Structures are given as C-alpha cells and as structure tokens.
Amino acid sequence: MNATIVVLGGDGIGPEVTREAVRVLQAVADAFGHEFHFVEHLIGGCAIDAHGTALPDETLAACQQADAVLLGAVGGPKWDDPTAPVRPEQGLLGLRKALGLFANLRPVTLFPALVDASPLKRHIVEGVNLVVVRELTGGIYFGPRQEPTDGTAYDTMLYTGPEVARVVRLAGEIARRRRRRVTSVDKANVLASSRLWRHVVTHIMAEEFPDVQLEHLLVDAAAMHLLRRPADFDVIVTGNMFGDILTDEAAMLAGSLGMLPSASLGESGPGLYEPVHGSAPDIAGQGIANPIGAILSAALLLRYSLNLEQEARCVEEAVRQALAQGLRTADIARPNETPVATEVLGTQVADLVPSSIAKVDQ
Ligand code: NAD
C-alpha cells in the first residue's frame, strides 16, 4: 500500500514521541512492503512562532490531502497567555473542525506487564481492553447558551437523530472488529436528549447490528461499573460531555497518561491520531517521555485510516513484548527499575515489529 501521512509534532514532547511513532510505522512499512510517505508540518505554538497562526494554510491543505494525520501535542508556558488572540489549541480545534471529525475513540488496554501501575486492584483491572467512542461535535458543549447575566446562565444539551445515528454506526462497526458488545451511556431517566439518544441507539443497533450485543447504562451507573468491572466493557458509546468525563476516568485504569492513544474520525477523509497526553513542558527536551501513547496512536492509524488490521496488531504486540522485556520510561518504571530513554523504547518496539507478525498470525 502507498499512503501519505502528515506528521504534526507540535510542541514540547510532541515531536519527541511522534518521532518514535514514525520509526515504528517505517518498521511496519519495511516488514509488510508498504510505502508510507511522511510529510512534516507545523501546528500549535511552533506554528505561531513561525507564521503567526496556530494552523497555517499549508498545514491544513496538507492534512486535507493526506490519508491520515499523526499529531504529537500542542501548547506550553510560552503561549499560555489566555488573553492572547492566537493560541496553540486553536490549531487543534481548527483542524478537527476542518476535517469534520465527529467521533473520538479512546482505547484503554491494560498491558499485563503494567498491572501493578494501575491504581485499582489487580483482580479488577486484569484483562481491561475497552474503547470509548465519544460524540465530539454536538451535545451540551455546542448547544445554545446564555452567559451569566442577572444571576442566570444556561447551557443546552441538544442532539439530532442523525448526529446520534452516525456515532452509533461507528461504534457498531468497531464492535464488529472486537468482541461485539456495545454499551450505550446516557441519562435517559432525566434528560429528553438522552431519551432521543437511547431511542436512536436501540433502533440502529437492532436494524443494522443484530449480531452485536447492546446494553444501556445510565451515566452514574457507568461511572461506578468502570471501576467495579472494567474488564467487562468492550465498546462504550456516549455523548460529548459524558464521554469527556468517562474517558478521563477510564484513562486512570491504564496506569499512566503516557500510555494512551486516541483517534478522531469523520464520515470520510483522513482521521487524526494523537496520544491523549499534552505537551508535558515539565519533561520536554529531556528525551524521557513515554512514546507508547503515540506509538499506539500509529496502530490506530493503521487500523482505521489504512484498514491494515494485521499491521495494527503487530504494533500492539511489539509494544506488549517490549514492556514484557522490562523496558519502561520513567513514568511507568517501578522503584527498582532503571528507566530507559524515549528513543530506546521506540527503537525496541520498531525492532520487535517483524517478529510480531508470526505472533498475531497465530
Ligand atoms: P500533560 O499531559 O502535558 O502533562 C501532565 C503530566 O503528565 C505531566 O507531569 C507530564 O510530565 C506527564 N506526562 C504527559 N505525557 C507524558 C508522557 N508521554 N510521558 C511521561 N509523562 C508524561 O498535561 P498538562 O501539564 O496539563 O498540559 C501541558 C500543556 O499541554 C498545556 O499547554 C496544555 O494546554 C497542553 N495540552 C495539549 C493537549 C493536546 O495537544 N491534545 C492535551 C492536553 C494538554
């Protein structure tokens, strides 16, 4: 396969972790005979410094023409003035909007070697392998609102049937590649928008995904079950605000922010793949950042934008093996372990890609 991948390193540790993800993607290309063309562009604070805007026209044009976009992180103390007219996160928000990305996927996998890094007990977190599909462009964050005036303010949770249907279809498709279970999360006992959500989910799943098991949970119960029985979940689909909160809760299960990947997908066009963490200015430039969130984002890129499932599994298997061999960056190292540098972990994952092929074939 021939594919063009735009790489937006961004700020802080962004370029340090995307460099390792590109190294792993190149190893995949070499092992499987693909041609990946990597094109680097600026976004965020570094783009403001160079061009006075967080999303230069040439960056956006390159992303729109690409097969997929791999992003590091944007922001940092240098551009932190909340009153500044141009800010790094405008680059990310502008890109999400321009690419029409309506769903955010956050897989949470607990690698066996890191069971003890989770704040939850081993018998609860063992086997956690779930993905949260969050609606990204509707709901209360985008509904009509009134800013506080005369002691009153409101926000409106507004959803239309088609907005719910497209994200549910995506969740159904993802479940078909996994364990075929979807949990839809809402607050249908109180909110009218949630009753619409539940109605559409029930209809679409019954009509289009009869082979996928469906359960409905109220968001308060879902928050509890995520801590009580996280390994039972496969695909969780939910609205914008509930997803925002539940993804942060689910993130804690994996042990470190540095481990978590994400994908943002639209109806067509390139997807955007980025680690969940930010630019981590406190450790930037030291070569100690955990590259696994970025590397697992590259695995999602292979799976969802390039439809290369076997290659995606190889990357995940290579990460699993590198961790099983004891390689850990400082954020996941135990007190008796010597941490390795970002580049050492990235290189080892890349080196393990060819031998992972046989393992995922089994
Ligand atoms: P952060 O995720 O950058 O860092 C939080 C903590 O986690 C820090 O102690 C950091 O060292 C650690 N950490 C994060 N990623 C790590 C990794 N890969 N390896 C090891 N440790 C890691 O969040 P923050 O400190 O709240 O934000 C810092 C900057 O990043 C801010 O400017 C913020 O606006 C920006 N930010 C950007 C994004 C994005 O680009 N998507 C997301 C969140 C925050």
**For 308-347, how does the pLDDT look when each residue is reduced to its tens digit (9 = 90+)?**
999 999 999 999 999 999 999 999 988 888 999 999 999 9
| Two tokens, residue 253 | 């299960």
Cβ atoms within 10 Å of 99's Cβ, excluding its own: 21
Question: What is the pLDDT, as a whole number, of residue 100?
Answer: 92
CA of 229 to the centre of ligand 1 (A): 28
Please name which of 260, 276, 305 lies closest in space to residue 63, comparing C-alpha atoms: 305
Condensed to tens digits (0 to 9), the pLDDT of residues 30-46 reads: 999 999 999 999 999 99
- Band of the pLDDT at 119, cuts 50, 70, 90? confident
Average pLDDT over residues 220-228: 97
| Two tokens, residue 252 | 């804690």
Residue ID of nearest Cα to ligand 1 atom 43? 278
| Two tokens, residue 347 | 């290189």
Q: What angle do CA 319, 69, 101 make, to 5 degrees?
A: 110
Question: What is the pLDDT, as a whole number, of residue 282?
Answer: 97
Average pLDDT over residues 257-276: 94
Q: Is the CB of 345 under 6 A from ligand 1?
A: no
Mean pLDDT score of the chain: 95
CA of 251 to the centre of ligand 1 (A): 14
Identity of the residue numbered 198: R
Query: At residue 205, what are phi and psi to the nearest 5 degrees?
Result: -65, -40
Average pLDDT over residues 258-263: 94
Q: Catalytic residue numbers?
A: 141, 187, 220, 244, 248
- Band of the pLDDT at 17, cuts 50, 70, 90? very high
Q: Is the CB of 255 under 6 A from ligand 1?
A: no
| Two tokens, residue 289 | 């950042």
Report CA-CA distances (Å) from 223 to 115, 126, 260, 314.
21, 18, 19, 32
**Residue of 83 and 320 predicted with greater confidence:** 320
Question: What is the pLDDT, as a whole number, of residue 362?
Answer: 66
Q: How far apart are CA 87 and CA 53, in angstroms?
A: 8
Please name which of 73, 64, 3 lies closest in space to residue 38, comparing C-alpha atoms: 3
Average pLDDT over residues 176-189: 97
CA of 71 to the centre of ligand 1 (A): 14
Atom of ligand 1 minimally distant from the CA of 72: 40
With 80 as the cut, is the pLDDT of residue 255 above it? no
Residue ID of nearest Cα to ligand 1 atom 37? 278
Q: Is the CB of 262 under 6 A from ligand 1?
A: no
If one residue of 89, 95, 277 were mutated to test the ligand 1 pocket, choosing by the most ligand atoms within 8 A of its CB, it would be 277
Q: How far apart are CA 347 and CA 75, in angstroms?
A: 26
With 90 as the cut, is the pLDDT of residue 301 above it? yes
**CB-CB contact of 159 with 196 (8 Å):** yes
Question: What is the pLDDT, as a whole number, of residue 268?
Answer: 87
Report CA-CA distances (Å) from 334 to 123, 249, 338, 362.
19, 23, 8, 32
Q: How far apart are CA 28 and CA 43, in angstroms?
A: 26
**CB-CB contact of 74 with 92 (8 Å):** yes
CA of 106 to the centre of ligand 1 (A): 16
**Nearest-10 Cα torsion for 201, 206, 212, 217:** 40
For 25-43, give one letter per residue: b (16+ CB within 10 A) or e: bebbbebbebebeeeebbb
For 131, what's the count of Cα atoms within 13 Å in the CB-facing half-sphere?
26
Q: Work out the burial of residue 316: count CB atoms within 10 Å of its CB; fewer than 13 is exposed, 13-18 middle, 19 or more buried.
A: buried
Q: Which bin fits 38, alpha (ψ -120 to 50), beta or left (φ > 0)?
A: beta
Condensed to tens digits (0 to 9), the pLDDT of residues 49-58 reads: 999 999 999 9
Q: What percent of the chain has pLDDT over 90?
A: 86
Q: What percent of the chain has pLDDT over 70?
A: 100
Average pLDDT over residues 276-288: 96
Average pLDDT over residues 344-353: 98
Ordered structural domains, the chain, with CATH: 1-103+262-362 (3.40.718.10), 119-254 (3.40.718.10)
